[in-house]
Amino acid sequence: MNKKNQHFDSKVIHAGQSVEPVTGAVMPPIFLTSTYVQESPGVHKGFEYTRSHNPTRYALERCIARLEGSELTEEQDASYGGFAFSSGMAAISTTLDLLNAGDHIIAMDDLYGGTNRLFTKVKERSAGLQFSFVDLTNLSLLENAITDKTKLIWIETPTNPMLKLVDLEGVVNIAKDRGILLACDNTFATPALQHPLDMGFDIVMHSATKYLAGHSDVVAGILVTGNPELAERIRFVHNSAGPILSPFDSYLVLRGIKTLSLRMRRHCESAKRIATWLNTQESVELVIYPGLSSHPQFEIAEKQMQIDGELAGGGMITCIIAGGIEKSKSFLEKLEIFSLAESLGGVESLVEHPAIMTHASVSPENRAELGIEDGLVRLSIGIEDCGDLIADLEQALA
C-alpha cells in the first residue's frame, strides 16, 4: 500500500519511521551523543554533530513532516521538511529569522500571549520587523493590510484563547504567489483535524508541548514545510542559531504522537459534549466552541476541521462565567479534576484564566478589544471520563 494513502490512524504510528538498522529496534533508540566519529576528515555516515543531525530527532521530524503532508524526499531534505525545536516559541522565532529587517508581517489579532510578546516586545526591536495585527476572520481586511513589504502572514486557527477561526483557503486565494510566506500555528487543531499545507500554506508550526506530545511532560516546537527551498532555509537557521530539541525530548514527542489520533477523537468528543452542557448553564454567559453551530465561524469549522470527513471542533472550550473576576476565580479554585494551570492539550483536563495567566503580557486595551475579559476562562478537555468532568464543572459552578 502506498504510504501516502494510509489512514491517519496508521500514519501516526508508521509515518517517516524506519527500523533501526543495527538491532532492528522498533522504536528509535535515544541517541544521546553530541558528536560522531569520522573515519577521515569529512568522511562520516552523514552525522557530524547533534545540533546538525541526530537520528532520534530525525525520527520525530520525519514523522510530523509526513503527518502534516510534506512529500519531500530524503534527497530533498534529510528530515523531509520537518524540524524540531526546544519550544514552540523557538519554532516561531526561527520562522521570523527567515525574514530581513524592515519586512512587514500580518498576524492574526488573537494569538497566544507569548507569540504576541515575541512579535511586539522582542522582534520589532531586535530584528527590525514590523507587525500588523488584523482580525482575519474578516478576510476583506487582509487585502487592505498587505503592503509591498509584507513577507509573512501568521495565522493561528483556532486562536488562543478566543477560538476564532480563519478560512485558510481564503487566505491562500488572496495572498498566494505574491512573495508572501503563509504560516499557520496548527497547535490547537493538529494534523488529526486540519492540514494547512494541503490548502497551500508554506509552513505549519506547532507548540508540540501540547497535543502532539500530549502528556504535559515536555516543552517542544515543530516547523514543517513541503517546499524544498524553504526547508533548506529553515535547516540553515535551525543549525546556525541552534534552537534544537534534545534527543530525549524528541523521543517523548514521537512517543506521544503514536496516540495522537486516538486522543484527538476523545478530546473532540468530550469537548463537544461539555460545550453543549455548558451552554445550558445559567451561570455561564457565553460558550465558544468551534463544534457548536452558535460559533461565529461554524461554517469554517465544518469545512477545515474534520476527522474522517466529520466536523471535529477540537479539545478546547472558552467560556465566560457570569459575575466577573470573583466568580471566575472561585470557579477555578473549586475545580477538583481540572487542574488550574497554564498549557493545554495533555491527557489531563486543565483550566486557566487568560487575562491573569497566559495572556497577561497582552496589554489590557488589546485584551479588551479581543474580548479577553475578567470572567473568561479556557478549558482544555482531557481524556478522563466525560461524566466525571461534567460533574466537576457542575460542583464548581454551584
Instruction: Tell the residue number behind the cell numbers 497554564, with chain if given.
Output: 342
Q: Which of residues 53-92 bind ligand P1T (CB under 6 A)?
A: 87-89
Supply the minimum distance, in Å, between the C-beta of residue 252 and ligand P1T.
13
Q: Which of 97, 185, 374, 392 is catalytic?
A: 185
CA–CA dist 194, 266 (Å, integer): 16
Q: Which of 112, 211, 251, 289 is catalytic?
A: 112
Query: Exposed, middle or buried: residue 171 (CB in 10 Å: 0-12, 13-18, 19+)?
Result: buried
Supply the minimum distance, in Å, between the C-beta of residue 220 and ligand P1T.
6
Q: Which of residues 259-318 bind ligand P1T (CB under 6 A)?
A: none
> Which residues are CB-contacts of 374 (< 8 A; sequence separation ≥ 6)?
324, 325, 328, 355
CA–CA dist 147, 30 (Å, integer): 46
Q: Which of residues 340-359 bind ligand P1T (CB under 6 A)?
A: 342-344, 358
166-to-2, 44, 70, 155, 378 alpha-carbon distances in Å: 32, 46, 22, 7, 19
Angle, CA 192 vertex, CA 188 and CA 198 arms, to 5°: 95
State yes or no: residue 207 binds ligand P1T (CB under 6 A). Answer: yes
Q: Which of 9, 36, 51, 135 is catalytic?
A: 51
Where do runs of H (alpha helix) occur along 108-204?
Answer: 113-117, 124-127, 140-145, 168-175
Written as nine digits, the cell of 60 is 520525530
CA–CA dist 321, 342 (Å, integer): 18
Supply the minimum distance, in Å, between the C-beta of residue 309 and ligand P1T.
26
Indicate the residue among 112 and 338 with the shorter CB distance to ligand P1T. Answer: 112
Supply the minimum distance, in Å, between the C-beta of residue 30 and ligand P1T.
20
51 noted as active-site residue: yes
Supply the minimum distance, in Å, between the C-beta of residue 273 and ligand P1T.
23
Supply the minimum distance, in Å, between the C-beta of residue 282 and ligand P1T.
28
Q: What is the CA radius of gyration of the chain?
A: 21
Q: Which of residues 187-206 bind ligand P1T (CB under 6 A)?
A: 187
| Number of residues located near ligand P1T, criterion CB under 6 A | 18
344 and 358 Cβ atoms separated by less than 8 Å: no
Supply the minimum distance, in Å, between the C-beta of residue 112 and ligand P1T.
4
Would you list the DSSP string of 342-379? S---SSS-EEE-TTTTTTTTS-HHHHHHHT--TTEEEE
Q: Which of residues 147-166 bind ligand P1T (CB under 6 A)?
A: 156, 160
Q: Which of 210, 263, 266, 378 is catalytic?
A: 210
Q: Which of residues 101-140 bind ligand P1T (CB under 6 A)?
A: 112, 114-115
CA–CA dist 248, 238 (Å, integer): 18
Distance of CA 319 to the CA centre of its chain: 21
Indicate the residue among 16 and 221 with the shorter CB distance to ligand P1T. Answer: 221
Angle, CA 270 vertex, CA 287 and CA 288 arms, to 5°: 15
Indicate the residue among 219 and 230 with the shorter CB distance to ligand P1T. Answer: 219
Indicate the residue among 70 and 186 with the shorter CB distance to ligand P1T. Answer: 186
Instruction: Give the binding range for ligand P1T (CB under 6 A) out of 138-146, 316-324, 337-345, 386-394.
Output: 337-345
148 noted as active-site residue: no
CA–CA dist 156, 168 (Å, integer): 10
Indicate the residue among 344 and 381 with the shorter CB distance to ligand P1T. Answer: 344
Indicate the residue among 92 and 129 with the shorter CB distance to ligand P1T. Answer: 92
CA–CA dist 173, 175 (Å, integer): 6
Indicate the residue among 72 and 254 with the shorter CB distance to ligand P1T. Answer: 254
Summarize as ranges the residues that interact with ligand P1T (CB under 6 A).
87-89, 112, 114-115, 156, 160, 185, 187, 207, 209, 219, 221, 342-344, 358
Active site residues: 51, 112, 185, 210
